Amino acid sequence: MPSTRGAWILAAAILGSSLAFIDGTVVNVALPAIQSGLGATLAEVQWIVAAYALTLAALLLTGGSLGDLYGRRLVFAVGVVVFTAASAWCGFSPNITQLVAARALQGVGGALLVPGSLALITASFSDDDRGRAIGTWSAFTSITAALGPVLGGWLVQHFSWRWAFFINLPIAALVLVITLAHVPESRGADANGPRHVDVTGAALTTLALAAITFSLIERVPWAGIAGVALLIGFVFVEAHEHSPMLPLSLFKSATFSGSNLLTLFLYTALSGVLVYLPMNLISVQGYTATAAGAALLPFIALMFLLSRWSGGLVQRYGARRPLIIGPIIAAVGFALFARPSTGGSYWTTFFPAIVVLGLGMAVSVAPLTTAVMGAVPSERAGIASGVNNAVSRVAGLFGIAALGLVLSIVFNRSVDGHIASANVSPQERARIDAQRSLLAAARVDDPRGRAAIDAAFVDGFRVVVLIAAGLAVASALSTVFLIRDERQPE
């Protein structure tokens, strides 16, 4: 293909996927401002993040199938339109209910455009050029992921949290123009055969994840039981479906199963910590939104700068050893987040934890991709990658819901002790009790009450990061017991 056409395709894929990547990081930084502006409880804040993660995780594989059947450019463009409309709705939402609904619609748009971005590259470039094209895509999306939190934090700080969503509109408009003008249409090899999308599987997945998430956020046990039952039904349906959304035969490989188990543990930990860290930095430590966004730059920079080196580790040692060492380093990084209390310099409190966590994740990501791809035949590499991507999104959903539940429980148990030791007046205590669901966003005038709330939030955050460290260790153990190097190292 002409080099100019290839550049346009790359631009559309990079900007399109950046919409979803930026949204995930910018919204985390904006959460404290949203909570303050709309008076949201912790559960409502969780739903702001979880609604997007839920529909994205449940429909990601379906989005890829729709692109193969009906045209990758068409489905990608529809995804951009849906994502844009939902972003505008988020920005104009007058209350939490509408914001959560808009975020769920954003996830639907993301599920259509995220798999399409790489599918466009795969379909449009030759075997010789595809590797370089994907490398370029990866590099530029890493840069946008790094700039997103800082830019989003600046917009939140100087304008409004609503600009965390409005920022998507001009980018999406540019993506749509480039896609319609310069990107050729393509379909999967079986697109001319019987057209079939696993609607039953998609519906069961969505309902199951929604029920489990509802159970964790709203503390309704029967919903969790219903969610597990729906997941069992999903597995039964997929086992008998002619064209399943999730081919269960992939999990016959112990390495593939172990890689996805590792992904589930590690990304549950990472997602939970990265959602609640900005709340700690802004509401407790007193960081501005811009500073909170910039605080994670070392993490993203290490992921970007060490990606090629990490790939070299796979060539030298195979994937197994890095997938033991990387998660253990990440576990140390998570544990280091438990050191800071309130106050202190960023460089001596959160910076060491962020650097160690970034190193651990940098060591893990490329070998994880290699293990997933090497565990299946080459003709099934696309669906294997899609399954692993979906598992990471499900992990993010569980991290938000489950670790948020832990944070809330520990906060509510801890705040009583801190209030008693601080000798807070009965009137101020009553005011704090009325705002317990807001956690660190509670508004109190007494400095002793404020200190008690901050200390209780730090207690809850410490338990969250220690659980995250345990999950990272569990991911290393899944490598020890399940993952084998499919190819001998050079």
Please compute Rg for the chain using Cα positions.
22
Please tell me the predicted confidence (pLDDT) of residue 194: 45
The predicted model gives 344-360 an average pLDDT of: 95
pLDDT at 435: 84
pLDDT at 459 over 70: yes
pLDDT tens profile 247-283: 898 899 999 999 999 999 999 999 999 989 999 999 9
> Residue 310: which pLDDT band, with cuts at 50, 70 and 90?
confident
CATH architecture of 252-490: Up-down Bundle (1.20)
CATH architecture of residue range(s) 1-189: Up-down Bundle (1.20)
Task: Output the six-digit token pair for 275.
Answer: 């959602």
pLDDT band, very low/low/confident/very high, at 213 (cuts 50, 70, 90): very high
User: What stretches of 183-319 show up as alpha helix (H) in DSSP?
Assistant: 199-218, 221-240, 254-279, 289-295, 297-305, 307-317
pLDDT one-digit tens code per residue, 172-212: 999 999 988 888 887 765 544 445 788 898 999 999 999 99
Please tell me the distance from the alpha carbon of residue 295 to that of residue 281, in angstroms, as a whole number.
9
Taking the complete model, does pTM exceed 0.75, yes or no? yes
Task: Provide the percentage of residues in the chain whose pLDDT is more than 70.
Answer: 94
Q: Would you say 441 and 41 are in contact if contact means Cβ atoms under 8 Å apart?
A: no
Share of the chain above pLDDT 90, in %: 46
Binned at pLDDT 50, 70 and 90, residue 135 comes out as low
Which among 356, 398, 462 has a CA at the least distance from the CA of 265?
398
Q: Find all residues with CB under 8 Å of 114, minimum gap 6, and list them.
A: 17, 20, 56, 60, 63, 79, 389
Tokens of 97: 């209910």
pLDDT above 90: residue 462: yes
Residue 156 has pLDDT above 60, yes or no: yes
One DSSP character per residue, 309-363 reads HHHHHHHHH-SHHHHHHHHHHHHHHHHHTTS--SSS-HHHHTHHHHHHHHHHHHH
* pLDDT surpassing 60 at residue 1: no
CA atoms of 338 and 232, how far apart (whole Å): 37
Nearest 5°: the CA angle 12, 53, 394 is 110
Residue 307 confidence class, pLDDT cut points 50, 70, 90: confident
Q: Which of these, 395, 442, 145, lies nearest to 273 by C-alpha position?
A: 395
Predicted confidence at residue 437, as pLDDT, reads: 84
pLDDT of amino acid 109: 93
Which pLDDT value is given to residue 86? Answer: 96
488 pLDDT higher than 70:
no
More confidently predicted of 223 and 382: 223
Q: Taking 90 as the threshold, does the pLDDT of residue 83 lie above it?
A: yes
Of 170, 237, 178, nearest to 208 (Cα)?
A: 237
AA identity, residue 351: F
